Structure 1
Amino acid sequence: MTDTVLSLDDARLTLDGNAGPVEILRGISLNINRGESVGLTGPSGSGKSSLLMLMGGLERASGGRVTALGQDLTAMDEDALARFRRGTMGIVFQSFHLVPTMTALENVALPLEIAGVGDARARAEAELAAVGLAHRRGHYPSEMSGGEQQRVALARAVAPRPAILLADEPTGNLDAANGAAIMDLLFGLRDRHGATLVLVTHAPELAARCDRVVQIADGLVRA
């Protein structure tokens, strides 16, 4: 029997626009299994990132159901969602979202400290070393390149050892060389921690490394 980690059943997302309600996702049904890597692809505006946000509980479905690790995200309030994400999900954004007033080490240790992990600093140092940035642990985001900042963001996402790793265009702001390095790190960290990986990408070479590619068009899964 397959072990489903993420499940969407007729998930819908409607947002208010200037001209009225806009249907972003129009009924997505999708199952993702433990340890699987899935690439979400499709043209700009197709709903890929919105779908990822539903999976992470960062957007609330307007209809249907979203389940992660057996828990119904659509039934949780914001506080419950935040607690659930903290213990089970790592999220990597295209624009890094590092805290500018914190060093690389402090950024990586932050989710561990919030979760009350006793060896937060030691684990953060180990994750920075795993992405090749042990020598940059005392540097602030403004003192690092885009590729280095994305490495810190990756280390921060995997430091709590989440069961689910979500990545939204993780190479989108990087040049080819840094993008390739981040791809290697992303899949290497996934393998090391045994996480289920779902990523949004426009890069065919990144999608090709996934176990499965799901194409999104006009808010629907393309058959």
Structure 2
Amino acid sequence: MSDPVLSLNNAALSLDGNAGQVDILHGITLEIGKGETVGLVGPSGSGKSSLLMIMGGLERATGGTVMALGQDLTAMNEDALARFRRDHMGVVFQSFHLIPTMTALENVATPLELAGARDAFDRAEAELEAVGLAHRSGHYPSQMSGGEQQRVALARALVTRPDILLADEPTGNLDGANGQAIMDLLFALRDRHGATLVLVTHAPDLAARCDRVIRLADGRIEPPVKAAAE
């Protein structure tokens, strides 16, 4: 793969717990290309979300290297990582993580304001319209349903036109209908913006829509299952 957007080489993650060091990820090596959609699947506790976090520099790998857009995330300090995410990444969480004291419009505009964009609110308004929530721009998160809050979170993640979109169980807190709507919207926005998408999911139908599925077990990537010989 030429010039992968994300490249991990023998990446590992260990954290200190009450009972001592806990090894979460072991020797993860993989590459993800520009515009690719990759699903991370596996049982609870397999390391899916932790892998997504080190890809975004939200958790620092304790071994190996994590490269994003040719930059070594493992060599950056916290300020540099924050700037890199601001300029190149969008992140969507299962729990929305909207700022409760801000309206939908203000939530979406926040990353643009932090980047110094003068047209932050105009762009935020356009992104809310793209997710079908222009009429809710003045509402606070507590005044919106879970599906609407996740739409706001998607708009916020994509308003900066990120190169990389990371989504951690984006439909996990939603019912079937809202989950399906968010899935459709996630892929439509990915197509619109041309971002590389990596998502963690337990939903087989969501994983099936990805270009590639990576299965984890016990902090390691499982080898692909070979088709039985005919």
| Counterpart position of 2:82 | 82
Residue 56 of structure 2 aligns with an amino acid whose one-letter code is G
For 2:63 and 2:12, the matched residues in 1 are separated by 5
Residue 170 of structure 2 aligns with an amino acid whose one-letter code is P
1:101 aligns with 2:101: yes
* Deviation for aligned residue 1:132: 0.4
* Deviation for aligned residue 1:18: 1.2
| Counterpart position of 2:72 | 72
* Deviation for aligned residue 1:3: 3.2
* Deviation for aligned residue 1:91: 0.1
| Counterpart position of 2:226 | none
For 2:192 and 2:216, the matched residues in 1 are separated by 29
* Deviation for aligned residue 1:30: 0.6
* Deviation for aligned residue 1:38: 0.1
Query: RMSD in angstroms over aligned alpha carbons?
Result: 0.6
| Same amino acid, percent of matched pairs | 78
* Deviation for aligned residue 1:118: 1.5
Q: How does 1:158-197 map to 2 (within 5 A)?
A: 158-197=158-197
Residue 188 of structure 1 aligns with an amino acid whose one-letter code is A
For 1:34 and 1:109, the matched residues in 2 are separated by 26
1:45 aligns with 2:45: yes
Counterpart secondary structure, 1:44: coil
For 1:87 and 1:173, the matched residues in 2 are separated by 28
* Deviation for aligned residue 1:2: 2.7
Q: Return structure 1 stretches of 4+ with deviation > 2 angstroms.
A: none
Residue 9 of structure 1 aligns with an amino acid whose one-letter code is N
Compute the TM-score of the two structures, normalised by the length of structure 1: 0.99
Unaligned runs of 5+ in 1: none
For 1:220 and 1:121, the matched residues in 2 are separated by 42
| Counterpart position of 1:63 | 63
Counterpart secondary structure, 1:60: coil
For 2:2 and 2:30, the matched residues in 1 are separated by 14
| Counterpart position of 2:13 | 13
Aligned pairs, number: 223
For 2:27 and 2:200, the matched residues in 1 are separated by 18
